[in-house]
Amino acid sequence: MPKLERMSIREQVLKRIRSKEAGWVFTPSDFLELGSHYAIGMALGRLIRAGHIERIARGLYHRPGQHPKFGRMPPTPAAIVAAIARRDGATFRETGASAANKLQLSEQVPMRLAYETDGQSRRIEAGGMKIDLIHRRPNQIRRSTPVSQLVFSALRERRSVKGGRDEWERLGALLSEADKRKLLKDLPLAPAWMHQAIRAIAAERGREARTNLLEVGDPKKGRPR
């Protein structure tokens, strides 16, 4: 019976890259079980020259996707941050302005790309973008679930802005029932001034679900304004 030829490291790396969705951002650390750091670096260099991948910054690579109308699609900030998180073992969450926009509490698109992290503060320049990483204490980042982190960040951003009467009800409708249960479970991890709004968001209907931002309270004083 003939022996099967063993795949080269380059072929193994390419196979893994092709198994991911277009737009995937990665680092050599995503392949280290396939060979030495030097061998992985050589394989990635060959794949760049062959046009399979792009280097978007030192140690950061991208599998570009193609849009039928707009052509080559650049990497997203979330994909870049996810690659760094895997490499460094750090945790990231979106800042308040971005979270508020994603949860439809604000129509303003943030001009500054920024994420909070339990790693060190620094600026990343990759794919033509500048992304600021802002250090926060690990207990502020790691303990709550991602959906809770998103809501907490959005509430911090919106605490001094007048919300519509049905704003929290709309946000509650946006979240799944599982998300709401996680949000209530993480309630002790949020500052006291957020608690009323979080309960309103998690409520199904009724008076509590229609709490507006003026009833949330002053984050500095911890009591309603």
User: Domain limits of the chain?
Assistant: 9-78, 90-215
Phi-psi region of 89 (alpha: psi -120 to 50; beta: other; left: phi over 0): left
Distance of CA 136 to the CA centre of its chain: 15
Q: Note the pLDDT tens digit of each residue in 106-123.
A: 555 555 788 888 888 999
Query: What angle, rounded to 10 degrees, do the helices at 195-202 and 146-158 form?
Result: 120
Q: Note the pLDDT tens digit of each residue in 126-180.
A: 988 899 898 877 766 666 677 787 787 777 776 644 454 467 777 777 888 888 8
pLDDT of residue 190: 80
Rounded-to-integer distance, Cα 81 and Cα 97, Å: 17
Percent of all residues in the chain with a pLDDT value above 90, rounded to a whole number? 32
Q: Tell me the average pLDDT across 192-220.
A: 54
Alpha-carbon distances, residue 192 vs 47, 143, 216, 221 (angstroms): 52, 16, 10, 10
In CATH, what is the architecture of 9-78?
Orthogonal Bundle (1.10)
Binning the chain into helix, strand and coil, the percentages to the nearest 5 are 45, 15, 40
Percent of all residues in the chain with a pLDDT value above 70, rounded to a whole number? 73
Torsion of CA 158, 130, 73, 63, to 10 degrees: -120
Q: Is the pTM of this model over 0.85?
A: no
The tokens describing 116, both together, are 């909070």
